[in-house]
Amino acid sequence: MRAFGTPLIDYAPALAAAAAASLYLATAYGYSPDARAAPLLIGWSVIVLAALDAASRTQTAVGGILTRWLNPVGTGRREGHAAYPLTRQVTAIAWIAGFVAAFALIGALYAIPLYVFAATRWRGQRPWLACALSAAVTLAGVWLLFAKLLRLELYPGLLFGGL
């Protein structure tokens, strides 16, 4: 079966992301107003990105424009063939799962720069100094934006008092 010229199974990743974000949002709305500010921003951002992903997968004029705008590499995809080998796809998902696990366990202030450092070092194969600098700048940006400008307490992680 197809919808907008695309096999329904191709919409599964976007729908799964939207479903997960919906559960996340439902949970976040149970928090106090201060505690739910960042989770709501994240949850609604994922919903918007999932909608864009689903729309870009259609075989319509709008889908083609979105694909060229959001993912120029995706325009070379042939029907029925993955753009990347399964091992690369699984590795990409494992990196995201590792980030989510680190975020849940050690919190935002540690997980975000750790992920930036690890990704730029091992995925991007950049020098140690460049990785450390990019992680430090990211940490400073996150701290400045959320802790100082928005005055939001960043999630500390389960190991450091979260929940």
- pLDDT for 5-19, tens place per residue? 888 898 999 999 999
φ, ψ of residue 15 in degrees (nearest 5): -70, -40
Residues with pLDDT less than 70, the chain: 72-83, 162-163
Residue 45 confidence (pLDDT) = 92
Residue 149 confidence (pLDDT) = 87
Angle formed by the axes of helices 86-106 and 108-118, nearest 10°: 150
Residue 152 confidence (pLDDT) = 79
Residue 80 confidence (pLDDT) = 53
The burial of 126, by beta-carbon neighbours within 10 Å (0-12 exposed, 13-18 middle, 19 or more buried), is given as middle
Single-letter amino acid, residue 10: D
Residue 22 confidence (pLDDT) = 94
Residue 35 confidence (pLDDT) = 77
**What is the DSSP code (8-state) at residue 73?**
G
For residues 128 and 118, what is the distance between their CA atoms, to the nearest angstrom? Answer: 10
Q: Considering only CA atoms, which of 113, 118, 103, 96 is closest in space to residue 159?
A: 103
Residue 74 confidence (pLDDT) = 60
Helix (H, G, I), strand (E, B) or coil at 102: helix
Residue 59 confidence (pLDDT) = 87
Helix (H, G, I), strand (E, B) or coil at 2: strand
Contact of 101 with 114, CB cutoff 8 Å = no
